[in-house]
Structure 1
Amino acid sequence: MKAILIVSVFIIICNVSALDACPKCGKTLVPYPLSTDENCGNPSYKVYCNNNILQFLSADGFFYDILTIDPDAFSLVISPPLLQKNSCYSADLSSGGFKLDENLPFNISSRNTVMLFNCSTSILLSPLNCSTNSICRDFERSEMGSGCTDTLCCHYKKDASMTAHRIRIRLGGCTSYTCIVDAKPGDPIESWNYGIELQWSPPFSSRRQ
């Protein structure tokens, strides 16, 4: 009897999850709890379907394309901002970089390695790796990073000691950044997985019953 009850509850939960899932955005699946509309998903996990492209909105109103979603790991990866042409300025510089609303159930994953470019010398007082061996030098030598060649750059692994809600850039500090997910020491630049991984807290108590 107990086994039957457990199976029944499992089936009900699965069915509710399927009913709550939002329609595809273009070719991209939108799994629960992500929500593109008030009639599907969970509104606390809001994402946007703009011109058939699934996007995430920062706390400062900047849209980032969603590259991948892993509902089993409660995570998604957004595209880092592009560098403005022939410059070392990230497209989201005017909003101070990437910032999450701390009232929402998302945080920046500790699997991210952030590279900062065109930094002021004050950053040398920080614990970041700004040495000639920093992986940011490899990015500078690539076509994507050519606008930042020979600037002061640094990299760091996003971990629990740092804010889980912001990657900050600014004039007078560092003016651009990029990010790679799940980087391993010695990985060649050709294997880098560009993106900013976000994790969400599972909404077990918030699904409609």
Structure 2
Amino acid sequence: MLHLIVFVLALVSHVSAFDACPKCGGMEVPYPLSTRDDCGEPRYKTYCNNGVLEFLSAAGFYYQILSINPAEHRLIISPPFILENTCYSPDLPEGGLQLDENLPFNISTRNTVMLLNCSSSILSSPLNCSSNSLCRQFEAAEEGDGCQGTLCCHYLKDSAMTSHRIRVRVGGCTAYTSVVDMKPGESIDMWHYGVELQWVPPNSS
């Protein structure tokens, strides 16, 4: 009986070690996220590129992973920096952030998304494009320097909108950013820029 217990404990230890991917730079890669074929789950693929952990969109654009909360099945990726002296997101040619709907990731409802340099057609949408829109604060800040004076809007990512895409395009809005878990009345210097993704755990019903 003792030998059986030792064998089972050794097996559990081996499985845990096999499932745990090594750190990428200084960042832990918790299960089920995977950076290579011999750890994690293949449907939860992330990429360790030169010591930087990254998430690959369905359109082939890499986004740096800023933080991971395995207990809540969430990770935060960096929105791409708006190109200097322009109001264009680097992933504009890919149509913005797109997630593969066949994979277990989606965009969480804790993101306040700001669309920038928009055409007037967006005024017919339900988004907040008023002079009080949060995007005006972003435009006025150094981060949005190239977007000052453009038409912009913001919205809270919710279940009524696609949870797999933040869209930008020429003729629509050409840039975006996002703030995670924004509190009412929170000043811009307290904003946490990022796009929070959540995943469905393996074998979840």
Please say if 1:137 is aligned against 2:163: no
- 1:78: which partner in 2? 77
Please say if 1:111 is aligned against 2:94: no
- 2:191: which partner in 1? 192
Identical columns (%): 65
- 1:60: which partner in 2? 59
SS of the equivalent of 1:136 reads helix
Cα distance between partner residues in 2 of 1:14 and 1:145: 49
Q: Does the 8 Å contact 2:106/2:197 carry over to 1? A: yes
Structure 1: runs of 5+ lacking an equivalent: 1-8
Cα distance between partner residues in 1 of 2:76 and 2:106: 12
Q: Does the 8 Å contact 2:18/2:38 carry over to 1? A: no
RMSD value, Cα? 1.8
Q: Does the 8 Å contact 1:109/1:164 carry over to 2? A: yes
Q: Deviations over 1:156-199 (max 9, x none)?
A: 00001110100000000000000000011211000001000000
- 1:152: which partner in 2? 151
Cα distance between partner residues in 2 of 1:14 and 1:129: 52
- Call closer, same or farther: CA 1:72–1:15 in 2, change over 3 Å: farther
Cα distance between partner residues in 1 of 2:158 and 2:195: 13
- 2:3: which partner in 1? none
Cα distance between partner residues in 1 of 2:126 and 2:16: 44
Cα distance between partner residues in 2 of 1:85 and 1:14: 49
SS of the equivalent of 1:178 reads strand
* Structure 1 residue ranges (4+ consecutive) displaced by more than 6 angstroms after TM superposition: 11-15
Q: Does the 8 Å contact 1:106/1:198 carry over to 2? A: yes
SS of the equivalent of 2:123 reads helix
Cα distance between partner residues in 2 of 1:34 and 1:159: 25
SS of the equivalent of 2:142 reads coil
1:1-209 correspondence runs (5 A): 16-204=15-203
Cα distance between partner residues in 2 of 1:75 and 1:16: 23
- Call closer, same or farther: CA 1:13–1:203 in 2, change over 3 Å: farther
Name the TM-score, length of structure 1 as normaliser.
0.90
Shift of 1:15: 6.9
Name the TM-score, length of structure 2 as normaliser.
0.92
Cα distance between partner residues in 2 of 1:196 and 1:155: 14
Q: Deviations over 1:5-46 (max 9, x none)?
A: xxxx9x987874453010000111000000000000000000
Cα distance between partner residues in 2 of 1:23 and 1:162: 36
